[in-house]
Amino acid sequence: MTTAGGQRLRVTREKLGLTMRDVENASENLARKYTNEEYFVPISRLSDFETKGVIPSIYRLYSLAVVYRRNFRELLAWYGVNLDVSVSDLEISAPPRSHFSHALARTGAVELPVRMDPSFDARKTLNFGRMIEQWGTVPLVYLEGLSKVDYTYGYIGSEDLTMYPILPPCSFIQVDESKNKVSEGGWRSEYERPIYFIETRDRHVCCWCTLTREALILQPHPLSPVQPRVLSHDEGEVLGQVVGVAMRLGEWRSVPDSAAAPKEPAALN
């Protein structure tokens, strides 16, 4: 019985004007190139693929993808194999040992937010992932930087001037959750100094940090009108380091002159 995959192979071959002999000869050249007979697709086998529902091996399917000028992933999809691995698929197995996984690194599509939670307040800095009400599928080829699973995303509120002018309000930030330890120093300028995404008891904050034995000090940019905050260790959590930013240029709001005034750290309660 002919399968949908076999029918598509035949239709594709005929649209290209290729005979079965053409396919056999081309696959023979590929097999010779890789010194592997598994790539060879004889006429009799191609006929089985197209009319009898026989499923090609991975080598022969690759040969057909090359000869037909089609993406190998597409041909696999014709036979029900989707290489865009979903998280739910990975949950069917639970290896007992901790490990790195690259299963999602080359997926062809990504889910992105298409509708926000009604409680989304553009004035406040927040963890963007918690405000997404509906996701939609988008080709990942245009958004490959989002494929790293250790990243989360934040939004700088329209009234948050903590890191102005480096991070103006309404910026979107990419946060590497693996970098959640405050650096002791070593930067040569403010542009190299790590910026962290912090979750406190009442809000999210994007700022520089200093960690002491007694406290976590949240330090705004010197040109910001925002005052430093001093938190005890149980009052704030470093979610990660900001490693990317998307911002709108040319529409930054003006900052009061008082921003230039020296600021003293708040006392630890």
- pLDDT tens sequence across 109-163: 555 555 556 666 667 766 666 555 545 544 444 445 444 456 788 888 888 899 9
Cα-trace Rg, the chain: 27
Which of 45-49, 103-107, 199-203, 241-245 has the least mean pLDDT?
103-107
Give the pLDDT score at 97.
Answer: 61
| Residue ending a domain, choose from 78, 101, 119 | 78
Amino acid at residue number 91? E
Whether residue 114 sits in one domain with residue 60:
no
Nearest-angstrom CA–CA distance, 82 and 63: 19
- 4: tokens are 């949908």
Whether residue 228 sits in one domain with residue 172:
yes
Contact criterion met (CB below 8 Å) for 219 and 163: no
Q: CA of 123: how far to CAs of 135, 157, 239, in Å? A: 22, 4, 20
Taking each helix axis as running N to C, give the angle between helix 58-67 and helix 43-51, from 0 to 180 degrees, rounded to the nearest 10: 90
Whether residue 57 sits in one domain with residue 125:
no
Whether residue 126 sits in one domain with residue 72:
no
Q: Quick one: CA dihedral 175, 179, 184, 188, positive or negative? A: negative
Residue 45: inside a domain: yes
pLDDT digits (tens, 9 = 90+) for 23-79: 999 999 999 999 999 999 999 999 999 999 999 999 999 999 999 999 898 899 899
Please count the structural domains in the chain.
2
Listed ranges 124-138, 165-179, 238-252; the one with the highest mean pLDDT: 165-179
* Domain with 14 in it: 4-78
Whether residue 59 sits in one domain with residue 180:
no
Whether residue 164 sits in one domain with residue 65:
no
